[in-house]
């Protein structure tokens, strides 16, 4: 299976670049908090050039709401599918400690992209948030917590939910 082969390749990279391993571990743990802090700073006007602040506040609200709805959507799917995390399925220790549990779809991918998408409608803020979201999902795979398909499913849920609510508010 492609997921297993890719994860096997990733785990063979561990230890070759110790600084990169450490950076991925920090990103996997702290990037969701960083994304929320960045959104908070946007709502305070940091980096606001020719941006209507009411749009930033609306995007921030849609982001948080979409992340919540995405998580609520993922819960029954995860319980139904009950996919093991890579470290459980392939019997290795991940780079970061994590409890056992449902891997599919990735709640972190859902949340990260749900937070980023509404800012597509607000100036160039989206670039920063999409970069952080992409970094988060790569790190979650790299440290052994998710398979590629977990990430793809999670980011799809997050993007769809956030696009729907953004469309309802910004377009309609």
Predicted confidence (pLDDT) at residue 148 exceeds the cutoff of 90 = yes
Q: Is position 108 annotated as part of the catalytic site?
A: yes
pTM assigned to the model: 0.91
C-alpha–C-alpha distance, residues 7 and 10, integer Å:
5
Active-site choice (49, 50, 98, 108): 108
Query: pLDDT at position 54, please?
Result: 83
Range(s) of the domain holding residue 8: 2-171
Q: How many domains does the chain have?
A: 1
Tell me the pLDDT tens digit for each residue of 69-111: 999 999 999 999 999 999 999 999 999 988 888 899 999 999 9
Active site residue 49: no
Instruction: Give yes or no for residue 170 having a pLDDT over 90.
Output: no
What confidence category does residue 48 fall into, taking pLDDT thresholds of 50, 70 and 90? low
Handedness of CA 86, 89, 94, 96 (dihedral sign): positive
User: CATH code at 79?
Assistant: 1.10.606.20
């Amino acid at each position: 299976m492609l997921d297993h082969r890719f994860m096997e390749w990733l785990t063979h990279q561990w230890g070759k670049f110790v600084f990169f391993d450490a950076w991925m571990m920090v990103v996997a743990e702290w990037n969701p908090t960083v994304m929320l802090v960045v959104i908070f700073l946007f709502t305070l006007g940091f980096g606001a050039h020719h941006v209507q602040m009411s749009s930033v506040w609306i995007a921030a609200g849609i982001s948080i709401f979409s992340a919540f709805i995405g998580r609520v959507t993922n819960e029954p799917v995860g319980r139904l599918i009950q996919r093991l995390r890579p470290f459980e399925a392939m019997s290795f220790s991940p780079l970061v400690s994590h409890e056992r549990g449902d891997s599919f779809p990735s709640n972190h991918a859902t949340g990260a992209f749900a937070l980023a998408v509404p800012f597509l409608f607000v100036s160039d803020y989206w670039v920063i948030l999409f970069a952080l979201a992409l970094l988060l999902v790569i790190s979650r795979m790299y440290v052994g917590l998710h398979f590629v398909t977990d990430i793809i499913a999670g980011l799809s849920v997050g993007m769809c939910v956030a696009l729907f609510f953004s469309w309802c508010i910004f377009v309609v």
